[in-house]
């Protein structure tokens, strides 16, 4: 609290690859306690990420990958850098940063977080392949750590047929994303007819919240509710004329 103090969970989550034990736990004690208290998780960001999304296209003008850069807040950055060796100019060695980045990505690969990124087109979720171009960098000026990665689509998506939505969010609300930078959303290789627009998350209204709470943990969401939950995330909408 959460209770208590909620900070370490994210760090733990990022620093450790997750074991499959968790899945069995989900149905055990945790489930019991959670059912006691219904939906308790409140928005309590304890970590801030300045995010950038770049949509990447192939020669045919189809969306092939989503590149992201997440810059962590100072507090988390200093915690992640703690204990790392330093070069003479007080920089963490790149080999150490690579190790951290690899750990983070394997933790983020957990189906529950799924890189905190979802791609949808006409109501369908687009599958992605293994992330590539993974790199962590330390900015000595701002004393902040950044993580870069690309999520390639399994099959190229043609945004001319239907708009593609890229949504970014931490379902546990532990991380608060910010897309305030002027170049937060880019689509440099996009065909001239395409436009990528950023949409800020909407507030959850009471009626939707009540319907969501009534759905059992194992149940699936009806399409309109799925749309409603998508609207709670940061979204980049790509439409091509």
Partner 1 sequence: MLNRADILGRLAICLAITILFGALLFGASAAAQVQSAHPFAVPQQTLNTPSLGWFDQWTGQIAIWQSQFYKQLTTAVRAWKADGFQAWWLLALSFAYGVFHALGPGHGKAILSAYVVANRETLRNGAILAFVSSLVQALVAIVLVAVAAGLMNVTGAVLNEMTAWLELSAYGLLVMLGVWLVYKHLLKPIANRFMSSLVSAPSHHHHDHHGHDSHCGHTHFPAPEQVAGQLSLRKAWGAILAIGLRPCSGAILVLVFALSQQFFWAGAAAALAMGFGTGLTVAALALTSLTVSRAMESAGGGRQRPWGRWIGGTLQASAALLVLLFGLLLFSAAWQYSVSLA
Enter the tokens of residue 21.
Answer: 């034990």
- The dihedrals phi and psi of 114, each to the nearest 5 degrees, come to 45, 55
Least separation, in Å, of the C-beta of 124 and partner 1?
Answer: 18
**Binding letters toward partner 1, positions 95-134, x by CB under 8 A:** ---------------x-xx---------------------
Q: Which of 155, 180, 181, 210 binds partner 1 (CB under 8 A)?
A: 210
Q: Would you give the DSSP letter of residue 150?
A: E
The reply to whether 91 sits near partner 1 by the rule CB under 8 A is no
**Residue number, 160 or 211, with CB nearest to partner 1:** 211
Q: Which of 112, 241, 70, 233 is nearest to 166 (CA)?
A: 233
What is the four-CA torsion angle of 168, 172, 201, 43, rounded to 10 degrees?
-150
Contact 189, 56 (CB under 8 A): yes
**Alpha-carbon torsion 165, 145, 132, 8, what sign?**
negative
Stretch that binds partner 1, among 43-51, 55-63, 121-129, 185-193 (CB under 8 A): 43-51
Residue numbers at the binding site for partner 1 (CB under 8 A):
1-13, 15-16, 18-19, 21-22, 25-26, 29-31, 33-34, 36-46, 48, 73-76, 78-84, 110, 112-113, 143, 171-174, 176, 204, 209-210, 212-213, 215, 217-219, 221, 229, 232
């Amino acid at each position: 609290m959460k209770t208590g103090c909620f900070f370490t969970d994210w760090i733990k989550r990022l620093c450790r690859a997750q074991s499959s034990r968790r899945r069995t736990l989900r149905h055990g004690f945790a489930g019991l306690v959670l059912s006691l208290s219904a939906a308790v998780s409140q928005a309590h960001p304890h970590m801030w990420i300045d995010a950038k999304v770049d949509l990447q296209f192939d020669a045919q003008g189809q969306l092939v990958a989503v590149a992201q850069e997440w810059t962590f807040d100072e507090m988390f950055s200093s915690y992640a850098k703690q204990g790392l060796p330093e070069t003479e100019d007080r920089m963490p060695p790149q080999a150490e940063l690579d190790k951290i980045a690899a750990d983070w990505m394997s933790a983020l690969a957990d189906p529950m977080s799924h890189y905190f990124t979802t791609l949808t087109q006409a109501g369908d979720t687009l599958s992605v392949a293994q992330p590539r171009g993974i790199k962590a960098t330390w900015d000595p000026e701002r004393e902040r750590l950044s993580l870069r990665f690309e999520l390639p689509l399994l099959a190229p998506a043609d945004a001319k047929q239907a708009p593609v939505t890229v949504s970014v969010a931490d379902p546990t609300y532990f991380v608060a994303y910010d897309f305030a930078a002027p170049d937060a959303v880019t689509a440099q290789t996009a065909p001239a007819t395409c436009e990528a627009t950023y949409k800020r998350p909407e507030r959850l209204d009471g009626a939707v919240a009540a319907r969501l709470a009534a759905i059992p943990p194992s149940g699936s969401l009806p399409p309109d509710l799925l749309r409603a939950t998508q609207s709670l995330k940061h979204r980049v909408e790509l439409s091509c004329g």
